[in-house]
Amino acid sequence: MAKDTYRINQIIRISKLYYECNMGQVQIAEKEGISKSTVSRLLKMGKDLGLIEVHIKEPALMYTELEDELTARFPVDRVTIVPVMVDNPQIILNDVCAALIADLPRYIDDHTTLSIAWGTTLESLSHMLPKLHRKGVSVLQLTGGYSRLAHETSALSILQKFAASVDGDAYVIPAPAIVDSADIADAIKKDSQIQNIIQMAHQSQTAIYSAGAFGRPSVIFEMGIIDDVQYAQMAADGCVGDCCGHFLNAEGELFDEALDHRVVGVALDTIRHIPNRLLIASDPRKDKVLRAALKGGLASHLYVDVKTAEAILR
């Protein structure tokens, strides 16, 4: 009897660690002094005994057809579309962020590297992050976040919040996203700290970022990276926006390689090869740049609201 009570208590304890505390099976095994296979077996036993019940809460609105159309049309593995319940941009963004956050534990394992961008979307996401129990996670910036003008990008704050969420170490690129010349960018990237971050990005398990529409309102403008004259010329030449500081054309390729050589950050090709590329957005006005990012293979999983999804497909 005592043995049965011990086993049931152990199943309940392990189940709470796994389902409520978001701990991985390896971490639970270390904590309990048992093997990972035993953890898996006890979780299954909990379901068989009726101690664990998994409820799948379906949203009021499902967008399977839209999601299938996006995965068929673009090289993206998964699409999550959330409904627009209230016509308020911040509430819509929060709902999209919540959808990504619900999936986040599966994308971050112990002793891995997480790469993140910055901007309005990532700032909202960072404020909503849960506490994930992870070990040995490195969190790095994909591009520099210092502004030329008196504009707060919150890049450092976003990085710190992500690192705190996973009990990880933060690695900041202490530089602007784009500098005046390729020579300056090359000199900055020779700094050992920045070299290390760029090299770490090659081992990233997951990257999280949004995409910026080309035009105002835009963080790119507020930071002083481009001015009105440059904007008019770039728009005329086919620039549709940026992703992680890299300006794109409509096909998801680099808009201008010479301009891209001035970017201080992780190269676009490196980002494309990160296994889990989580692209998040909630603004139909971003349809062109999101379409380009999808065409260019910059998303393995897309998180959007239904209005943005429909705009991408138009």
Give the span between the Cα atoms of 273 and 265, in whole angstroms: 15
- pLDDT mean across residues, the chain: 90
CB-facing half-sphere around the CA of 48: CA atoms within 13 A: 8
User: What are the domain boundaries of the chain?
Assistant: 2-48, 64-313
CATH number of 2-48: 1.10.10.60
pLDDT digits (tens, 9 = 90+) for 4-45: 788 888 999 999 899 888 888 999 999 999 999 999 999 999
Q: How far is CA 194 from CA 157, 212, 281, in A?
A: 18, 24, 28
pLDDT digits (tens, 9 = 90+) for 78-90: 999 999 888 899 9
> What confidence score (pLDDT) does residue 197 get?
95
The pLDDT confidence band at residue 3, using thresholds 50, 70 and 90, is low
Domain 64-313 has CATH 3.40.50.1360: yes
> What confidence score (pLDDT) does residue 151 get?
44
Q: Please return the burial class of 125, using the count of CB atoms within 10 Å of its CB with bins 0-12, 13-18 and 19+.
A: buried
Q: Which residues have C-beta within 8 Å of that of residue 252, sequence separation ≥ 6?
A: 292, 293, 294, 295, 296, 297, 298
The pLDDT confidence band at residue 73, using thresholds 50, 70 and 90, is very high
Residue 112 has pLDDT above 70, yes or no: yes
Give the span between the Cα atoms of 44 and 226, in whole angstroms: 56
pLDDT digits (tens, 9 = 90+) for 132-162: 989 999 999 999 986 554 445 688 999 999 9
Tally: H helices and E strands in the chain: 15, 10
Residue 210 has pLDDT above 90, yes or no: yes
> What confidence score (pLDDT) does residue 218 get?
60
- Tell me whether the CATH fold assigned to 2-48 matches the one assigned to 64-313: no
Residue 111 has pLDDT above 60, yes or no: yes
Angle of helix 192-200 relative to helix 182-189, nearest 10 degrees, comes to 90
The pLDDT confidence band at residue 60, using thresholds 50, 70 and 90, is very low
Q: Which residue has the higher pLDDT, 123 or 86?
A: 123
Phi, psi (rounded to 5 degrees) for 137: -90, 130
252: left (phi over 0), alpha (psi -120 to 50) or beta: left
Question: In the beta sheet, which residues pair with residue 80?
Answer: 303
The pLDDT confidence band at residue 248, using thresholds 50, 70 and 90, is very high
Chain centroid to Cα 259, Å, comes to 25
pLDDT digits (tens, 9 = 90+) for 273-298: 999 999 999 999 999 999 999 999 99
Of the candidate ranges 193-202, 226-235, 256-265, 303-312, the one whose mean pLDDT is the lowest? 226-235
